[in-house]
Amino acid sequence: MNKFFKVALVLAISAIQGCANNQYDSSAATMSQLIIAEPLAVNYKSEIALARLTEVIHRAEITDAQRAELYYDRGVIYDSVGLRSLARLDFNRALRLKPDFVDAYNFLGIHYTQMQEFNQAYEAFDSALDLSPEHKYAYLNRGIALYYGGRAELSVEDFTAFHQDEKSDPYRILWLYLAEHEQDKISAKIALKGYSTFVSEHVWAKKIIKLYLGEISHQAFVRELTSGVSSNKALSERLCEAYFYLGKYYQLQGKNKSAVNFFKLALSTNVYEFVEHRYAKLELDLMRKNLVEAVNSSS
- One-character DSSP codes across 60-83: ----HHHHHHHHHHHHHHHHHTT-
Q: Which domain holds residue 242?
A: 1-32+226-299
Q: Is 214 helix (H, G, I), strand (E, B) or coil?
A: coil
Q: What pLDDT does residue 19 have?
A: 39
Note whether 50 and 23 are within 8 A (CB): no
> How far apart (Å, rounded) are the C-alpha atoms in residues 167 and 191?
13
Is residue 13 a part of any domain in this protein? yes
Q: Among 240, 242, 235, which Cα is nearest to 221's? A: 242
- Burial of residue 131 (number of CB atoms within 10 Å: 0-12, 13-18, 19+): middle
pLDDT digits (tens, 9 = 90+) for 114-124: 999 999 999 99
Burial 278-297 (b: 16+ CB within 10 A, else e): bbbbbbbbebeeeeeeeeee
Is residue 266 a part of any domain in this protein? yes
The rounded percent of the chain whose pLDDT value lies above 70 is 88
pLDDT band at 272 (very low <50, low <70, confident <90, very high): very high
pLDDT digits (tens, 9 = 90+) for 67-111: 999 999 999 999 999 999 999 999 999 999 999 999 999 999 999
pLDDT digits (tens, 9 = 90+) for 202-226: 999 999 999 999 999 999 999 989 9
Is residue 28 a part of any domain in this protein? yes
Q: What is the number of structural domains in the chain?
A: 1
Asked whether residue 3 carries a pLDDT value surpassing 50, the answer given is no
Is residue 121 a part of any domain in this protein? no
Q: What pLDDT does residue 13 have?
A: 27
Q: What pLDDT does residue 23 have?
A: 43
Model-level pTM? 0.86
Is residue 195 a part of any domain in this protein? no
Q: Among 184, 170, 183, 240, which Cα is nearest to 212's? A: 170
Is residue 270 a part of any domain in this protein? yes
Neighbours of 267 (CB within 10 A): 21
C-alpha distance from residue 246 to each of 111, 254, 261, 276, 292 (Å): 23, 13, 10, 11, 24
Find the mean pLDDT for residues 45-67. Answer: 93
Is residue 141 a part of any domain in this protein? no
* Structure-model confidence comparison of residues 23 and 48, the more confident one: 48
> How far apart (Å, rounded) are the C-alpha atoms in residues 78 and 139?
23
What one-character-per-residue DSSP string does 84-123 give? Answer: HHHHHHHHHHHHHH-TT-HHHHHHHHHHHHHTT-HHHHHH
Is residue 131 a part of any domain in this protein? no
**Which stretch of DSSP H or E encloses residue 240?**
helix 232-252
Q: What pLDDT does residue 296 have?
A: 74
Q: Is 260 helix (H, G, I), strand (E, B) or coil?
A: helix
pLDDT digits (tens, 9 = 90+) for 153-194: 999 999 999 999 999 999 999 999 999 999 999 999 999 999
Q: What pLDDT does residue 22 have?
A: 39
Rg value, the chain, Cα: 20
Q: Among 154, 106, 176, which Cα is nearest to 134's? A: 106
Note whether 147 and 179 are within 8 A (CB): yes
* Structure-model confidence comparison of residues 41 and 173, the more confident one: 173
Q: Is 164 helix (H, G, I), strand (E, B) or coil?
A: helix
